[in-house]
Structure 1
């Protein structure tokens, strides 16, 4: 076992002869290095549980100060995670079944006990206890991830969003339980609305935590009514201080004014697209580096874009276009825009759902390798200008 300490076994047995026999048997036949501590009654065993910290307990149910399953219950409550192998002078199948149901790793009858049975039972008890501990740890992680997923979903805004002159929707489809992708609709105090799509490098729990941090920074900065370039530049400084070296955040931040067809944006390593009624697509290029790479990097604004009725603005993460088959063929930009063009007359949310579904069908049976996220803005006609943000 190298530098690992010997296995610590607590033997709870009132018969000194039986205790000595078990000790000698283990010394001769047990292949794992061990230390054996002996307790002649339950009270002593309870004390040794605290002082000796045993890795394994061999327990006689019939003791001077306790008997039957009450003996097991009392000790098991004190050491719920320590494996216990029960020894008994009674070959009672009902008691044996009850003991195992209560948490005993095994039930051994003294009259049929031999070296092979004893050592095998102890080895199996140790292995089962290790497996059960791993399962408990895994369940704990699952619960934490589920909690993170629930919290994360609450960060995403209700969708679709109705703004005068626009129909807007967004959605995240995670590759794992927690996502590193992010979208948001931010109500800015001057009456405008900010549209955000972000993608933290990688995916999973670590990326989702950085995403939540980015969400908090953007909400606070946008509330100060600063221009979009200042929002992203300041956010970059905050993210740089907290971001691990192997992580960064691409992010597109657009600002719309209800009733106007005027789009302002700044983009940190993240592109968006416009599609006209004729199907022609124009790329809205990134204006700066991803967040978290350089502390003092500035993310300037692009020239404002004047939108036309019938246009569709798509702000995706790369999980859609980079979906790929087992042969590494990419879904790609052309397929992405073919889907948008075919669905252009359907609601914005339906376009997003079909985009993600098409990418998954394309890569099937290969599971998604990255999160898929998009915000879609449909520019409405003049009749919609009287609508209000709600």
Structure 2
């Protein structure tokens, strides 16, 4: 039977349309249910299927609000029928149709997950009306509760991951302003494998890292947390440059196990007294330098991503002179890989620089928030990769040795 919207003679104004699937192999009983539905005054679309197998196809292709289920089908019967339907449509209201002699079957069906039951031969239009409406309402309420619980669990998991991926900077005497942001790759998604951190060493130098573990989901996030903690511990232990990256790579290889995962990262050491920044790029792109004259991408030597070719150990250093006032912005590629508006082209670094050029730069936090917002809007909210941004601002003219 093809679904079509039917309005009973007593339908109230504003009545919602219920999409109803009747699973019934007896043509007489199916016709009786259809006549009763018409007399209820409900607005409905009715699909009738004689077997569970055919109902499975209907459920796969159509959103259903309510299922009227006969307990005696050619391919399944009894409580097994309820369990099978609930497995196919766990958030759809199920009303069981029982026979006059099956006094216990209805309550057993509700214990198995049905919202309600009706006894054939004792159903009138007003009873069917109330039962369908209440069953759909209860099902929607249960679904909303399940979604709210899932959202709470995701929020709690994100909070735990955020503590590992986005720690509080360790700053003692540094006057550098640190701004960090993280945006998951999809709405309500768990944080992924991007990570960042900033610590001030005993020598007064400021050390920063930003990185991106390949892949998405909890495995990437766990490895990102591991690398972030390893970086902080190694930096505070005095490791620097290619030695630091070599140890991080060893940890990555040990922690990834049999999974073919790698990580890109940038490590930076900012020396305010010497007015220099030392960069090591491990498969990562260059940071951006903002001065009163504007923003540009830095030029730096590139090294291999961690975990790609462990035998190379090639991460050359680049030492850059810093202006008296400025900012360095480190970011992951989720910020630039989205579409540039309606075009099929990626935003890229040039598009990112164009966005920055049109923004006020007085407030670093507002600047980063606006940059992420505009990049996401250009991509029409389709960002699928995590976005991490770390900005370091300084404004006091360094004392050169």
TM-score (norm 1): 0.61
Greater Rg, structure 1 or structure 2?
1
Partner of 1:32: 75
- Aligned residue runs from structure 1 range 154-165, under 5 A: 154-155=163-164, 156-158=166-168, 164-165=174-175
What is the rounded CA distance, in whole Å, between the counterparts of 2:192 and 2:347 in structure 1?
A: 21
With over 3 angstroms needed to count, the CA separation of the structure-2 counterparts of 1:216 and 1:159, relative to structure 1, is closer
Matched residue SS, 1:309: coil
Name the structure, 1 or 2, with higher relative contact order (CA <8 Å, separation 6+): 1
Partner of 1:315: 330
Deviations 1:79-113 (A, max 9, x none): xxxx9989898999xxx89x959955543549869
Report deviation, 1:202: 3.2
Residues matched between the structures, number: 296
- Is the contact made by 2:99 and 2:120 (CA closer than 8 Å) also made in structure 1? yes
What is the rounded CA distance, in whole Å, between the counterparts of 1:378 and 1:276 in structure 2?
A: 10
What is the rounded CA distance, in whole Å, between the counterparts of 2:290 and 2:300 in structure 1?
A: 14
Deviations 1:124-171 (A, max 9, x none): xxxxx9xxx999998887665433311122121347979635322121
Partner of 2:281: 267
Which one has a larger percent helix, Structure 1 or Structure 2?
1
- Aligned residue runs from structure 1 range 1-390, under 5 A: 30-32=73-75, 100=110, 106-107=116-117, 109=119, 145-155=154-164, 156-158=166-168, 164-176=174-186, 177=189, 178-243=191-256, 245-257=259-271, 259-271=273-285, 272-279=287-294, 281-285=296-300, 287-324=302-339, 325=341, 327-343=343-359, 345-364=361-380, 366-382=381-397
The gaps in structure 1 that reach 5 residues or longer are 1-27, 37-53, 59-82, 114-128, 386-390
With over 3 angstroms needed to count, the CA separation of the structure-2 counterparts of 1:299 and 1:145, relative to structure 1, is farther
Report deviation, 1:251: 0.4
What is the rounded CA distance, in whole Å, between the counterparts of 2:362 and 2:299 in structure 1?
A: 23
What is the rounded CA distance, in whole Å, between the counterparts of 1:166 and 1:194 in structure 2?
A: 11
The gaps in structure 2 that reach 5 residues or longer are 1-70, 84-93, 124-138
Partner of 1:78: none
- Is the contact made by 1:171 and 1:373 (CA closer than 8 Å) also made in structure 2? yes
Q: State which drifts further: 186-195 or 167-176.
A: 186-195
